[in-house]
């Protein structure tokens, strides 16, 4: 049983993971080279726990127990007694590899060394270790204490024991685990790409405005946030970089092609909420307002249902293709999208509801119109349509 945990990086994600582990009863050492980052993390945790006490989610004794479980350290050597270390630093492969090779000199041979990367190759990170079989991806979603999903990604070098212990530990921490193959974007950051990409494409074609597309996805689809609201929330620079990374990693597959609109917004500094301006405008208090952005041509807007269905079928097609390529199980793919990014339904359950024939017909209609490989239908959907079977029923 994992009782001693080291966390590398005291930013929002690292601090959140430390809170999760400490709440579960682990002894945690949170490491960062910057003492100010450690101080901020400790101060922020106190505020978070005070709010939980005020809301009567925890009592003052529980608050103190969680705080006592976290020690703030500024040298990697302090993590030497860790049974599990989780890295949550900048998304730079060489930096991560350097940190891991240094860390390995201090920890025991049994210590699991994990990365919280959202899309980088776990196999490549593991190659920096003398014992790569101890390396694994453990990807939390932000904010880590609130989001239920954690993707666990074994590399080709990862030992079965490393995977089993990691899965059990994360479940013991109260999270839902989705095991994913070590491919670009894993589950969520791969399957979710059409939510942003197809919405941007619809806008660029002059079919609808930012707010009209968002309204369709929320009012008809039941999504909590529309794609443009969500991109503003994530940050256009961050979201664009993830899209570009996935596009490059998939050898320029047109399904993941980035948008010039988003690139220009990022270049202009229209990053969303954090800059006060994105696809929407934001007041100092964070209140969102439409900037009078209308469709980019005089063509009449498609009905909101058509917008929703176009984005939905692209999401379903991506989820089906992830299953086709054995990225994860059907259950884990649907859990990932509902618990990782709060989709109203699992995409594979949604296709059972809509009908696989409906999806195949929609995809073929898009392909016939555009003649782009972007709109190729997943072979799995075609096969299941021929065999008249469903994903879950």
Which of 87, 104, 151, 229 is an active site residue? Answer: 151
Q: Where are the alpha helices (DSSP H) in the chain?
A: 12-23, 35-54, 60-68, 93-103, 122-126, 160-172, 188-191, 193-204, 210-219, 227-234, 236-249, 260-267, 304-324, 330-340, 347-354, 356-370, 379-387
Which of 116, 189, 211, 378 is an active site residue? Answer: 189
Which of 69, 82, 115, 118 is an active site residue? Answer: 118
**Does the annotation count 302 as an active-site position?**
no
Residue holding tokens 């529309």?
226
**Does the annotation count 189 as an active-site position?**
yes
For residues 240 and 63, what is the distance between their CA atoms, to the nearest angstrom? 38
Q: What is the dihedral of CA 114, 116, 121, 126, to 10 degrees?
A: -20
Residues 142-171: b if buried by 16+ CB within 10 A, e if exposed: eebbebebbbbbbbebbbeebbebbbebbe
For residues 237 and 239, what is the distance between their CA atoms, to the nearest angstrom? 6
Contact 136, 162 (CB under 8 A): yes
Which of 119, 139, 209, 211 is an active site residue? Answer: 139
**Does the annotation count 27 as an active-site position?**
no
**Does the annotation count 296 as an active-site position?**
no
Q: Which residues are catalytic?
A: 118, 139, 151, 189
């Amino acid at each position: 049983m994992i009782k001693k945990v080291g966390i590398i990086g005291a930013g929002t994600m690292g601090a959140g993971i430390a809170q999760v582990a400490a709440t579960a009863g682990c002894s945690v050492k949170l490491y960062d080279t910057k003492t100010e980052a450690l101080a901020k993390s400790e101060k922020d945790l106190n505020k978070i726990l005070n709010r939980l006490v005020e809301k009567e989610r925890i009592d003052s004794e529980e608050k103190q127990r969680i705080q006592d479980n976290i020690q703030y350290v500024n040298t990697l050597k302090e993590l030497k007694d860790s049974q599990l270390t989780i890295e949550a630093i900048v998304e730079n492969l060489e930096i991560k590899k350097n940190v891991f090779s240094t860390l390995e000199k201090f920890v025991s041979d049994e210590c699991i060394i994990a990365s919280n990367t959202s899309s980088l190759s776990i196999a490549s990170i593991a190659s920096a270790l003398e014992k790569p079989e101890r390396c694994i991806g453990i990807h939390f979603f932000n904010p880590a204490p609130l989001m239920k999903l954690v993707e666990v990604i074994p590399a080709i070098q990862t030992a079965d024991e490393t995977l089993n212990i990691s899965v059990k530990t994360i479940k013991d921490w109260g999270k839902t685990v989705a095991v994913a193959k070590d491919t670009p974007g894993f589950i969520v950051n791969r399957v979710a790409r059409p939510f942003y990409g197809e919405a941007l494409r619809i806008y660029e074609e002059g079919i609808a405005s930012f707010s009209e597309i968002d309204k369709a996805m929320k009012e008809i689809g039941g999504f909590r946030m529309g794609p443009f609201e969500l991109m503003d929330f994530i940050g256009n620079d961050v979201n664009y970089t993830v899209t570009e990374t996935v596009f490059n990693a998939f050898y320029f597959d047109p399904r993941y092609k980035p948008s010039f609109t988003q690139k220009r917004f990022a270049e202009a500094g229209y990053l969303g909420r954090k800059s006060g301006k994105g696809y929407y405008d934001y007041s100092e208090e964070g209140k969102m307002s439409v900037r009078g952005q209308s469709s980019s041509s005089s063509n009449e807007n498609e009905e909101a249902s058509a917008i929703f269905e176009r984005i939905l079928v692209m999401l379903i097609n991506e989820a089906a293709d992830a299953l086709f390529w054995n990225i994860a199980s059907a259950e884990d793919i649907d859990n990932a999208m509902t618990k990782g990014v709060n989709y109203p339904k699992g995409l594979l359950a949604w296709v059972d509801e809509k009908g696989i024939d409906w999806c195949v017909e929609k995809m073929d209609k898009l392909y016939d119109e555009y003649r782009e490989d972007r709109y190729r239908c997943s072979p799995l959907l075609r096969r299941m349509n021929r065999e008249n079977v469903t994903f879950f029923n």
